[in-house]
Structure 1
Amino acid sequence: MPTTPDVRELTADELADAWQLGRLAFGSAPQPPAHATTPVPGMTRYGAFDATGRLVGKAVDLHHDQWWTGRPVPAADVAGVAVAPEARGRGVARELLRALLRGAHERGAAVSALFPTVGAPYRACGWEVTGVLRTVDLPTAVLPRPRTTGRLAVRPGDLADLPAVFDLYEQVTRHRNGLLTRRGPVFDHYRDQFTADDPPFDGLTLVEQDGRLVGYAGWNRGRGYGPDAVLTVEDLFATTADAARELVSVLASWHSVTPTLRLTPLPGDALAAQLPLEKAREHEQDTWMHRPVDVARAVGERGWPGHARGSVEFTLDDELADWNTGTWRLEVADGAAQLTRVTTDAALHLSVRGFALLYAGAATAQSVTDAGLLRCATGADPRALDLLAAGGPAHLLDYF
């Protein structure tokens, strides 16, 4: 195999081979789902080929949007990266990610997230750990069951209620950072597959106030009713404290047949304020990583806190996405920001991994400096770059 593989978009005829490569890497079921071997809108699939034309690696660019303080930011979220065992350690994944970033930049993406099976190769390509998707188990019996006020109506939902459900998800998530908008061709494609015989959840519980949806829980029942039975809540959102209390009360009613409630809490939301999370046990943790695709777009297309105001200059290094490399001036004011190139020397020298940590609100400039991801000239104060971290912490709730 040559030092540099040939990386290009996969054709429809090559998707079965890509599935087989991923099946061996991840231990998937022998039979592929339909979407794995057919083109899907909003998804670019890349393959790496050796000198003989054999597929030795693959990666997927998911054309998601992420919410950043009220504004959707186009993303290139990465999934399905796999390399044939005989080709590992030869730079195949690096070339795949280089091509993916370039293609994503050309189509207008600004940021990128991924869930790594191993972090080191992605760190070498500019992604950095910025959060953890936590799935926890709660004993159903410890959930509070407050008296209902009578002001809210609780009922089961069906396919006709899904548009209102999607709207409520957006109400809860749009003012936060990092969460997927769940809009766009990829999500539209999968939503079109839902039918009464194949809904997105086993059950959908709705809470309404004066006919308006104010909370919902989408849950899967699982098997059995013994001590090992689990009710898995895939989606749980509310826009008011009363709606959250109603939902928690409904979930508590499962205690006799599902002793365990499994869910993914969103820190600081209306449900987290009602759940006894001190009783939770960790079921699973999935680390996620972030990086900019285009730093100017990443800064300019997101929203910023209205109180944040200031400017700072820094030099950025980005080996895989050289359009990001250079010296920049960041200016933030009135809920917006921009990056402009400058020709003067900057006292702050930031790595792309350091940029990811600050942008996602996962670290302070001082801690990024301590990690060796920000270098300062003598006498320079790294805390000036806390301006880049002004948006607060990012979260992800969707595994991809």
Structure 2
Amino acid sequence: MPATAHVRELTADDLDAAWELGRFAFGSDPQRPAPASAPVHGLTRYGAFDDTGRLVGKAVDLHHDQWWSGRAVPAADVAGVAVAPEARNRGVARALLAGLLRGAHERGAAISTLYPTVAAPYRACGWESAGVLRNVDLATAALPRHRPASHLTIRAGTTADLAAVDALYEKVARHRNGMLTRRGGLFDAADRGLPGDGLTLVEADGELVGYATWQRGRGYGADSVLTVDEALAVTAEAARELVGVLGSWASVAPTLRLCPLDGDAVSIQLPLESAREHERDLWMHRPVDVALAVSARGWPAHTRGVVDFGLTDPLAEWNTGTWRLAVADGAAELTRVDGEADLRLDVRGFALLYAGAARARSVAQAGLLHGAGDPTALDLLGAGSPAQLLDYF
């Protein structure tokens, strides 16, 4: 194949070929679902074509927003990356991701997250490992039981409750870092139904204070599993009530499977010391536009400081240069300055610091931060809690 890969947005005429490419890459069912070849609002599909016009690679930019300390940051989350076997190791993926980043930058995205099947190609393009989405198994009988609180009501939810569920999710997510807003675009479904098999609600005086969505699974023997897609609460009492309901499944579902959210009201009620990891998915992060990534997010109100640094980003040249970071009063700004800075940061190091995945000294030890200055000055870029995701895409 010629070395040149021509990257452009896919049209409706390209979607059949894109579906076939994805089917072979991910081992999907050969029976094509009805919407597979239909345009979808809230995403941009990119394709790489060889000199004959054959589609040899594809990637999808998901137009998500992510919560970062109380503010919604526009993201270009990446999914569905696939390259034809005959075109692999020829720069197709790099060309695709470069094209996707340019398009995302033009539409105003600030950051990007993806789940890799293999990390090396994305690392070579500026993404870096920043966290893990993990599902764990717990013995259902080990969940703590308690006397139900008289002021709380537990009931099954219906589709009429989904707006309240969304609002509670936002109460939990918006002051964390990295979690999807689940607003607009791909999340706007007029015919939205209940997630999974069941929705359990906990209310206090008619107000939703906790919920769990779950899938019953099959059977009732020793290998039966109750999968909890999400369990969130905004009070300790509601969390205890939810955990008690989930524990009541012990006689017919000996294993409870869920994705814990670090430090939230439900997770601290669970016996996580006895959890067994069922599945883990590494996620990676990078900036699309460093200046917007800094200005669009929230910052800890107590954090103040100024630091200059140089940044190198071979795939997104608009990020390369010397920058001054100033943080104060819960906001920050990144402005270009003349000359060279004592500290020089690789874009992957920026990603680690921004996501709270590493401190500056560790980034320097990893070879992603250089210079004669004190590396800990760039801990300013990592102020705030580590990012975490609850959504797989």
Q: Shift in Å at residue 194 of structure 1?
A: 2.4
Q: Is the partner of 2:3 in helix, strand or coil?
A: coil
Instruction: Tell me the distance in 2 between the aligned counterparts of 1:237 and 1:192.
Output: 24
Q: Shift in Å at residue 201 of structure 1?
A: 1.8
Paired-residue identity, %: 72
Aligned residue number for residue 236 of structure 2: 241
Q: Is the partner of 1:312 in helix, strand or coil?
A: strand
Aligned residue number for residue 256 of structure 1: 251
Alpha carbons 2:149, 2:241 under 8 Å: kept: no
Q: Is the partner of 2:100 in helix, strand or coil?
A: helix
CA displacement, residues 12-67 of structure 1 (integer Å, 9 cap, x when unaligned): 12111111101111111112333321111011000111111111000000000000
The equivalences for 1:54-133 within 5 A come to: 54-133=54-133
CA displacement, residues 294-337 of structure 1 (integer Å, 9 cap, x when unaligned): 00000000000001100000000001100000000000000000
CA displacement, residues 171-226 of structure 1 (integer Å, 9 cap, x when unaligned): 001000000111121111xx33424xxx3221000000000000000001111111
Instruction: Tell me the distance in 1 between the aligned counterparts of 2:4 and 2:164.
Output: 49
Quick one: which amino acid aligns to residue 23 of structure 1?
R
1:337 aligns with 2:332: yes
Alpha carbons 2:143, 2:271 under 8 Å: kept: yes
Quick one: which amino acid aligns to residue 115 of structure 2?
F
Q: Is the partner of 1:273 in helix, strand or coil?
A: helix
Q: Shift in Å at residue 148 of structure 1?
A: 1.2
Quick one: which amino acid aligns to residue 384 of structure 2?
G
Q: Is the partner of 2:268 in helix, strand or coil?
A: coil
Quick one: which amino acid aligns to residue 387 of structure 2?
A
Instruction: Tell me the distance in 1 between the aligned counterparts of 2:235 and 2:15.
Output: 45
Instruction: Tell me the distance in 2 between the aligned counterparts of 1:166 and 1:382.
Output: 41
Aligned residue number for residue 306 of structure 2: 311
Q: Is the partner of 2:17 in helix, strand or coil?
A: helix
Aligned residue number for residue 365 of structure 1: 360
- Which of 366, 376, 388 is matched with 2:381 structurally? 388
Aligned residue number for residue 294 of structure 2: 299
Instruction: Tell me the distance in 1 between the aligned counterparts of 2:216 and 2:325.
Output: 49
Alpha carbons 1:350, 1:374 under 8 Å: kept: yes
Q: Is the partner of 1:261 in helix, strand or coil?
A: strand
Quick one: which amino acid aligns to residue 22 of structure 1?
G
1:230 aligns with 2:228: no
Aligned residue number for residue 192 of structure 2: 194
CA displacement, residues 246-298 of structure 1 (integer Å, 9 cap, x when unaligned): 00000000001111110000000001110110111000000000000000000
Aligned residue number for residue 397 of structure 1: 390
Aligned residue number for residue 216 of structure 1: 211
Alpha carbons 1:4, 1:95 under 8 Å: kept: no
Aligned residue number for residue 149 of structure 1: 149
TM-score (normalised: structure 2): 0.99
Instruction: Tell me the distance in 1 between the aligned counterparts of 2:21 and 2:255.
Output: 36
Aligned residue number for residue 17 of structure 1: 17
Aligned residue number for residue 173 of structure 2: 173
Q: Is the partner of 2:226 in helix, strand or coil?
A: strand
Instruction: Tell me the distance in 1 between the aligned counterparts of 2:192 and 2:31.
Output: 21
TM-score (normalised: structure 1): 0.97
Instruction: Tell me the distance in 1 between the aligned counterparts of 2:265 and 2:371.
Output: 41
Q: Is the partner of 2:267 in helix, strand or coil?
A: coil
| Structure 1 unmatched runs, 5+ | none
1:49 aligns with 2:49: yes
| Structure 2 unmatched runs, 5+ | none
Instruction: Tell me the distance in 2 between the aligned counterparts of 1:392 and 1:339.
Output: 20
Instruction: Tell me the distance in 1 between the aligned counterparts of 2:357 and 2:118.
Output: 19
Alpha carbons 1:311, 1:329 under 8 Å: kept: yes
Instruction: Tell me the distance in 1 between the aligned counterparts of 2:73 and 2:31.
Output: 35
Instruction: Tell me the distance in 1 between the aligned counterparts of 2:239 and 2:4.
Output: 54
